[in-house]
Structure 1
Amino acid sequence: MAKLDFLVRYPLFASQVLDELDPTDPRLHREEADVRAVEAPMHRHRYGPWDERYYTVVGALLGRTLLLRGSEGRARMTLRPSAHGIEVARAAAVTPAWAAISDRCRAVAEAARGMNGNRIAGLIQGRLSLNEEHDFGDLIT
């Protein structure tokens, strides 16, 4: 989740990381401001980009049953949207306030289809200079 969120927040990086994503794809909404300004910058952590707000946001989504928690797979915890969560997301996606984010999410999801988190993390680390330019905890700019 964090890796995909990173690629949505930083559309200029998304096409560098995902081979299937054309940098001129209009769904990325790559405005000039994206070069230096991100609404909510992420921090560099050991396993890739991270936002401390995930704990609060995921907890709130679980508490409202928009997300459901599972334990299948190798991960300590898995998340999936509930039926109600899917309805809410679909309704938000067509509003003007969320349309650009929805477009980016679709573009990134299509380009990352079939990749697991480890694969995406490896691509982020291998193709971006986050390791050389940022110490742990630094904002990613």
Structure 2
Amino acid sequence: MRSINRIGTRPASLPLSADDVVEFHAARLLLLFNLCGVAGRIDGLTKMAKLDFFARYPDFFEVAAARMPVSSDEVAQDENGDSAIESAMVRHHYGPWDKRYYHVLAHLEAKGLITVTKEGKTYRLALTDLGKQRARALALAPSFSGLVDRMRKIKKVFGGKSGTFLKDHIYKIFDEEVGRRPMGQVIE
């Protein structure tokens, strides 16, 4: 994965997807912390990864949300018809995961956009004032409107749940798609 600043060193003949650019993932995580967290903070890597899974896999989110006791207007289907997987994740010990998280989180921390602190066994991931400012600006960008709408729905349904609850919920509902998938294999 490369920073957008270093793409100039890449031969123009090689294809480049947004999935290869660290800022693409950084922007999504800034939005996730801002829209799905509490006061711009998410407690736990597991919770962050599961909320991100629902943001990246709209069809899985709709199925999982339908199994939760919330009103149907809170989980209305995506009006944009956006059901494509934004960026693939792999099966890991605790459910869906992206090996790039450590790189992206370090990037965000180095840019002064988040702080990462450890409290007991839990990592607290929190937006800095600059991170909140950037996340608010991203949320207003038309190119992120579909993702922003989805994240607001994710917060309503799963924002108050723990990472362990989300992991267990995913394994229970998506046993074949996630739970039985071999470690490291892409979730489709």
Match of 2:153, as an amino acid? A
Alpha-carbon separation, structure 2, partners of 1:123 and 1:28:
25
Match of 1:131, as an amino acid? G
Higher Rg of the two aligned structures: 2
Kindly report the root-mean-square deviation, in angstroms, between the aligned alpha carbons of the 2 structures.
Answer: 2.0
Alpha-carbon separation, structure 2, partners of 1:10 and 1:21:
21
Between Structure 1 and Structure 2, which shows a larger proportion of helix residues?
Answer: 2
Higher relative contact order (CA 8 A, sep 6+): 1
Q: Identity rate of aligned residues, in percent?
A: 32
Alpha-carbon separation, structure 1, partners of 2:150 and 2:79:
5
Q: Unaligned 5+ residue runs, structure 2?
A: 1-47
Cα distance change, pair 48–28 in 1 and its aligned pair in 2 (3 A): farther
Compute the TM-score of the two structures, normalised by the length of structure 2: 0.66
Q: Which runs of 4+ in 1 moved over 3 A?
A: 20-24, 26-30
Partner of 1:65: 112
Q: Unaligned 5+ residue runs, structure 1?
A: none
Compute the TM-score of the two structures, normalised by the length of structure 1: 0.86
CA offsets 1:9-62 (integer angstroms, 9 cap, x no match): 11111122231374962557443xx3xx42310000110101111111101000
Q: 1:84: how far off? A: 1.1
Alpha-carbon separation, structure 2, partners of 1:29 and 1:110:
19
Match of 1:78, SS state, is strand
